[in-house]
Amino acid sequence: MAARLSNGCKLALPVDYAGVSMAMIQPILDSGVRDLDLVCVPTGGLQADILIGAGRVRSLETSAMTLGEAGGAPCFIRAMKSGALKMRDSTCPAIHAGLMAAQKDLPFLPIRGLIGTDVLRHRADWKIIQNPMVEAEDKIVIVPPIAPDFSLFHAPLADKDGNVWIGRRKELAAMAYAAKRTIVTVEKIVDGNLFDDENLSAGIIPSLYIDAVAEAEFGARPYGLWAEYGKQTEVLMEYAAQAKTEDGFAAYLSEKYGAEVLT
């Protein structure tokens, strides 16, 4: 599946609690793909930090980067300080609005709550317009669509027809509907059709929106996966400590993935 990614493609990744496909990091690094434009929905963490540190990312659109209890994302922080990463500051509502605009094939989507913030100063592609539905002055912000070339996430279950069960993690559905292609790793692929189970059907992304599925047990670790297993906070802590320096991260990348930092 990693071979489908191309240099310079826009790749959407989910927030840490929604099903991060950590199992795909090794194949992505092995593929040699670079100059990725990451979109973290709506925040990024370990997966994005590793790809940034490995020199595979040229731009990032997100509302935050964090390792949670383990603190800040060290490779992201270094890249920002050195100017190696183009940052597209956003907010959680703006990320979701952009995905919804792409899903509905709209040129933009209006949102409130941004006027007066510093974020607007750094986003020339966000515009302030007059609400056309009222005569009184009412300024709103419009944000352009976010249409990833690929969305990538991990889920508990898929069937052999390519239907993927995400439960109540609707942000994953938004990613799949907005993207040109969606690739998914899952804990288990089952026989039959998931839509035959009335208890699962409301939480399924149809195979129409899924391009490839692979089975990867514990594929979200060290992050947790709802109703399956918990987060390994100690692993995140160890990463944060080792990746605090460039040499430490390079050693981590070599030891864990057999990869080198691209320059």
The residue to which tokens 């906070």 are assigned: 233
What is the model's pLDDT at position 173? 98
Tens of pLDDT, residues 165-224: 999 999 999 999 999 999 999 999 999 999 999 999 999 999 999 999 999 999 999 999
- The 10 Å Cβ neighbour count of residue 230 is 11
| 55 dihedral zone (left: phi>0; alpha: psi -120 to 50; beta) | left
pLDDT of residue 33: 98
Domain boundaries along the sequence of the chain: 2-90+146-154+219-257, 107-144
d(C-alpha 149, C-alpha 155), whole Å: 20
* Band (263; pLDDT cuts 50, 70, 90): confident
Q: What is the pLDDT of residue 255?
A: 98
Which residues partner with 151 through β-bridges? 12, 182
Q: Evaluate whether the domain defined by 2-90+146-154+219-257 bears CATH number 3.30.2350.10.
A: no
Query: Residue 122's Cα: distance from chain center in Å?
Result: 21
pLDDT tens figures, 155-165: 999 999 999 99
Query: Model's pTM, two decimal places?
Result: 0.96
